[in-house]
């Protein structure tokens, strides 16, 4: 009967071995955050955005004139990785830093495929509507054209190697490239590339 | 007498009609293209089974049938019911002791149908198509993001299943070899690898570049992945180039995408085999296993404008998607079926020893009724998804051809339109639906 008992035990026993994890809050940049080799994690976005912002600010490419901040539009950020990502995870952090520093404001009224926010256009369409007090509707010539455009590319390269009897090590390299173009001259007045290289055999917790 | 009572109770659990026979009339209506009748039958059965172990699979059938019948809101309601059930099962422990014990004493068909990986992806895909049809683009994008997440989750689940199967197969290697259980493996010419369903990714890409306010670059990520998975078809290379130009700010002409859903997905049939267990008390067991059976043949589809005919490209062969899932899950099914059959044989032997002839009869009935394979599968899924993109002609008229069948449609006005064509068995009328993306 032994093999039969063994067989039934093998089928049922795994149920007893399963535990459950409790949900908890973690510091988004701390040691408890999850690290995935093939993905860009929250802490990667934070680190890269900080480094790129510092580089842009130190370059002096954007200087406010008489305390008046320059106007920036967001160009195309190409995603050449193998995963779906929200590039706002990077761009929003840079925009916020420039805005807070008083160097530049971002226009949401101009974009490569139409405005980021349609409201500026929508409110102007009320000009022919008698139901609205026309003095409260923005007049013509108030929208500000951008001075600069910020565009870039995120690239992923993967590699794997096996060393002796050790498990296969996977490596992912993410390159974050940004360019700031002066829209008057079409010249790139600032360019930078930051790398994130991650290595491991599976997902881990910790920075 | 006590044994008789116990066996009688278990017989009640096991002695149900297989899903294959339950769905006979429904599949007849569906294959004949009577979508209204199929929707009625599915709705009746889904209502009847709403609290049973078959609830999920019936809600899926109901959702697909209502969608084909043009009842998009009702279809989404059925899909939501299926989704809630699946979420309920997911919240339970991954492996429940009571569930496994039920499986051992009865059969795998007596366990709840929790939705296969590709079911979950297609459920979100059909919901997205329904929302697009209802003009709710944002909600459609939510469904497509969920489908994307389900695809990623399924890749991980698949990997886990393969590891678990390799571990458990060792225990039954002799038995599996002796009974030639390897023959149950479906023959797959193609393999989409990590992909669960390239069509879902294609639809997501299409919606991202044409509809979404952000994340539009992700359309190219999806298109590049499908392009490499499908061996680099010209249509997708062309699509990547076009989307890249559009995302760079280039204008595009009015476009119409025609999605052809042709044929029907495979079903499961039962195979009964005597399997030697090499145990002196239970030398062999009679066990029932599922075998995948393909239905119909691949059908080419074309879009004709005037005298020009353009062939639609195969984006997803659902036979491959279903077969991959079946193949990955088969070792676990074999392992659990053998364990259940052995447990039942042991119970029957004990009944014979304790209750004589009466026990022997009860034991025989218990074993016979309990040997039933799990044949449940979403039968209304198509065999293939093919896609063709054309510049919308001035008169907006397209001729749609699926095999020998032909139908005409006048496309809506719009920058990007989608026409969905559903074909059933040869001779059954084509079902055509359309919506505007941009």
In DSSP notation, A22-60 reads PP----TTSTTSEE-TTS--HHHHHHHHHHHHHHHHHHT
pLDDT over threshold 90, residue B156: no
Residue A2, in any domain of the structure: no
Query: For A16, which residue in chain B has the nearest alpha carbon?
Result: B97
Q: Which residues of B touch A112 (CB under 8 A)?
A: 247-249
DSSP A147: S
Inter-chain touch A86–B215, beta carbons under 8 Å: yes
pLDDT the model gives residue A49: 94
Tell me what ipTM this predicted complex has.
Answer: 0.74
Two structure tokens written together for B241: 């180039």
Residues 66-85 of A with CB under 8 A from B: 76-79, 81-85
Residue A59, in any domain of the structure: yes
Inter-chain touch A82–B225, beta carbons under 8 Å: yes
CA distances from residue A136 to A108, A139, A144, B118 in whole angstroms, order as listed? 21, 9, 18, 54
In this prediction, residue B93 has a pLDDT band, given cuts at 50, 70 and 90, of: low
Inter-chain touch B104–A11, beta carbons under 8 Å: yes
* Reduced DSSP (H G I as helix, E B as strand, rest coil) percent helix, strand, coil of chain B, to 5: 55, 15, 30
Q: Average pLDDT, whole number, for chain B?
A: 85
Is-contact A103 A180, C-beta < 8 A? no
Two structure tokens written together for A113: 């495929």
Calculate mean pLDDT across residues B17-42.
89
Inter-chain touch B338–A7, beta carbons under 8 Å: yes
Calculate mean pLDDT across residues B388-417.
95
Residue A150, in any domain of the structure: yes
Q: What residue numbers bound the domain in which A91 lies?
A: 34-107+144-202
pLDDT in tens, B363-375: 666 666 667 889 9
- Any idea how long chain B is? 438
pLDDT over threshold 60, residue A14: no
Nearest to A76 among B95, B247, B281 (CB): B247
Inter-chain touch B248–A112, beta carbons under 8 Å: yes
Residue A123, in any domain of the structure: no
Residues 1-30 of A with CB under 8 A from B: 1, 3-4, 6-8, 10-12, 14-16, 18, 20
Residue A20, in any domain of the structure: no
Instruction: Give CA–CA dist A118/A122, Å, rounded.
Output: 6
pLDDT in tens, B386-396: 999 999 999 99
CB atoms within 10 A of CB B124: 25
Q: Which residue has the higher pLDDT, B168 or B249?
A: B249
Residue A13, in any domain of the structure: no
pLDDT the model gives residue A15: 44
Residue A39, in any domain of the structure: yes
Query: How would DSSP label each residue in B257-308?
Result: EEEEEES---EEEEEEEEEE---SSS-EEEEEEEEEE--S----EEEEETTE
When scoring A1, A2, A15 by the number of chain B Cβ atoms within 10 A, the one with the most, hence best to mutate, is A15
Inter-chain touch A4–B216, beta carbons under 8 Å: no
Query: How would DSSP label each residue in B413-426?
Result: SSSEEEEEEE--ST
CB atoms within 10 A of CB B341: 24
What CATH number has the domain bearing residue A44?
3.30.2300.10
CB atoms within 10 A of CB B260: 29
- B355: distance to nearest CA of chain A, Å? 20
Inter-chain touch A15–B148, beta carbons under 8 Å: no
Q: Which residues of B touch A3 (CB under 8 A)?
A: 277-279
- Weakest-pLDDT range from A49-53, A90-94, A164-168, B302-306: A164-168
pLDDT the model gives residue A202: 62
Calculate mean pLDDT across residues B264-279.
82
Q: Write down the residue that tokens 């505007």 correspond to.
A: B436
Is-contact B247 A114, C-beta < 8 A? no
Calculate mean pLDDT across residues B1-23.
58
Calculate mean pLDDT across residues B117-143.
95
Nearest to A79 among B218, B249, B281 (CB): B218
Domain tally, chain A: 1
Q: Average pLDDT, whole number, for chain A?
A: 85
Long-range contacts of B250-254 (CB under 8 A, 24+ apart): B252/B415, B253/B391, B253/B392, B254/B391, B254/B392, B254/B414, B254/B415, B254/B416, B254/B417
Instruction: Give CA–CA dist A148/B210, Å, rounded.
Output: 26
pLDDT over threshold 50, residue A104: yes
pLDDT over threshold 50, residue B266: yes
pLDDT the model gives residue B178: 61
In this prediction, residue A204 has a pLDDT band, given cuts at 50, 70 and 90, of: low
Instruction: Give CA–CA dist A39/A52, Å, rounded.
Output: 19
pLDDT the model gives residue B379: 94
B336 touches chain A (CB under 8 A): yes
CA distances from residue B337 to A5, B334, B371 in whole angstroms, order as listed? 15, 5, 9
- Weakest-pLDDT range from A103-117, A185-199, B134-148: A103-117
Q: What share of chain B in percent tops pLDDT 70?
A: 81
- Weakest-pLDDT range from A23-27, A70-74, B28-32, B220-224: A23-27
Residue A25, in any domain of the structure: no
């Amino acid at each position: 009967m032994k093999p039969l008992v063994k067989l039934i035990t093998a089928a049922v026993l795994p149920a007893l071995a399963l535990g459950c994890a409790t949900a908890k809050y973690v510091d988004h940049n701390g040691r408890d955050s999850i690290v995935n080799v093939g993905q860009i994690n929250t802490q990667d976005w934070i680190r890269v955005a900080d480094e790129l912002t510092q580089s842009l600010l130190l370059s002096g490419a954007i200087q406010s004139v008489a305390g008046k901040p320059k106007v920036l539009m967001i160009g195309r950020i190409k995603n050449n990785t193998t995963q779906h990502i929200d590039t706002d995870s990077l761009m929003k952090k840079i925009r916020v830093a420039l805005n807070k520093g008083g160097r530049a404001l971002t226009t949401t009224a101009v974009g490569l495929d139409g405005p980021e926010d349609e409201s500026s256009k929508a409110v102007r369409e009320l000009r022919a509507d008698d139901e609205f007090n026309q003095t409260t509707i923005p007049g013509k010539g108030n929208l500000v054209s951008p001075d600069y455009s910020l565009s870039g590319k995120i690239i992923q390269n993967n590699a794997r190697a096996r060393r002796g009897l050790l498990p296969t090590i996977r490596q992912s390299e993410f390159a974050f490239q940004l360019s700031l173009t002066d829209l008057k001259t079409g010249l790139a007045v600032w360019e930078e590339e930051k790398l994130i290289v991650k290595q491991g055999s599976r997902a881990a917790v910790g920075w | 007498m006590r044994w008789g009572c116990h066996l009688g109770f278990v017989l009640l659990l096991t002695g149900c009609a297989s899903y294959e026979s339950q769905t006979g009339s429904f599949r007849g209506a569906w294959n004949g293209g009577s979508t209204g009748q199929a929707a009625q039958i599915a709705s009746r059965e889904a209502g009847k089974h709403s609290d049973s172990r078959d609830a999920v699979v019936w809600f899926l059938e109901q959702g697909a049938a209502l969608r084909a019948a043009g009842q998009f809101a009702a279809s989404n309601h059925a899909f939501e019911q299926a989704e809630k059930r699946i979420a309920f099962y997911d919240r339970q422990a991954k492996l429940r002791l009571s569930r496994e014990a039920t499986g051992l004493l009865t059969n795998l068909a007596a366990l709840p149908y929790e939705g296969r990986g590709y079911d979950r992806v297609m459920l979100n895909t059909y919901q997205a198509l329904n929302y697009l049809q209802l003009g709710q683009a944002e909600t459609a994008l939510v469904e497509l993001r969920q489908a994307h997440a389900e695809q990623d989750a399924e890749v991980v689940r698949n990997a886990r299943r393969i590891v678990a199967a390799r571990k458990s197969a060792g225990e039954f290697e002799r038995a599996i070899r002796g009974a030639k259980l390897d023959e149950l493996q479906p023959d797959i010419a193609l393999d989409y690898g990590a992909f669960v369903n390239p069509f879902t990714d294609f639809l997501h890409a299409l919606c991202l570049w044409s509809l979404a306010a952000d994340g539009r670059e992700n359309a190219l990520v999806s298109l590049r992945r499908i392009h490499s998975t499908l061996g680099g078809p010209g249509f997708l290379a062309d699509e990547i180039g076009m989307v890249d130009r559009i995302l760079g700010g280039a204008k595009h002409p009015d476009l119409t995408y025609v999605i052809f859903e042709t044929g029907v997905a495979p079903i499961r049939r039962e195979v009964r085999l005597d399997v030697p267990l090499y145990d002196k008390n239970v030398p062999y067991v009679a066990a029932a296993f599922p075998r995948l059976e393909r239905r119909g043949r691949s059908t080419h589809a074309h879009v004709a404008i005037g005298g020009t005919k353009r062939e639609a490209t195969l984006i997803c062969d659902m036979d491959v998607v279903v077969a991959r899932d079946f193949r990955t899950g088969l070792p676990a099914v074999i392992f659990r079926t053998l364990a259940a059959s052995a447990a039942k044989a042991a119970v029957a032997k004990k009944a014979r020893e304790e209750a004589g002839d009466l026990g022997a009869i009860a034991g025989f009935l218990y074993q016979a009724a309990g040997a039933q394979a799990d044949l449940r599968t979403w039968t209304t899924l198509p065999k293939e998804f093919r896609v063709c993109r054309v510049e919308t002609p001035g008169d907006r008229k397209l001729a749609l051809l699926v095999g020998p069948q032909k139908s005409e449609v006048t496309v809506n006005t719009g920058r990007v339109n989608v026409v969905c064509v559903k074909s059933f068995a040869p001779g059954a009328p084509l079902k055509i639906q359309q919506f505007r993306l941009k």
